[in-house]
Amino acid sequence: MLMIQPRPKRVTEHGEKLLVALQAADGQWISRTEIAASIEKKRLTPYDVALLDLLVERKLIEVRQLPGRSRDGYVWQYRAVTGKK
């Protein structure tokens, strides 16, 4: 049976951990694999990705999709939003 995680409605403590990991990258774009490593995980879970989506919606981070070697043919990269543009 396929279990679908409910979409988070608020930034949780774990979401804050993801945000801190992105802020530590000093504005550099980092992949999901790099984010996972920075929080000492082998890979991100669907819940982690949902939290990243929430952080994007809240305009705390940015996301971009590049052609890549993943199962769906893309690499997703994220970076924390800074005051500078």
CATH numbers and ranges of domains, the chain: 13-80 (1.10.10.10)
Q: What is the pTM of this model?
A: 0.86
Query: Which secondary structure element, helix H or strand E, spans residue 66, and what is its range?
Result: strand 61-67
Cα 13 from Cα 75, distance rounded (Å): 26
What pLDDT was estimated at residue 5? 63
Please report, to the nearest 10 degrees, the dihedral formed by the alpha carbons of residues 15, 20, 25, 27 taken in order. 80
Cα 37 from Cα 55, distance rounded (Å): 19
The radius of gyration of the chain's CA atoms, rounded to the nearest angstrom, is 13
| pLDDT tens digits in sequence order for the chain, 85 residues long | 555 667 788 888 999 999 999 999 999 999 999 999 999 999 999 999 999 999 999 999 999 999 988 788 899 999 999 875 5
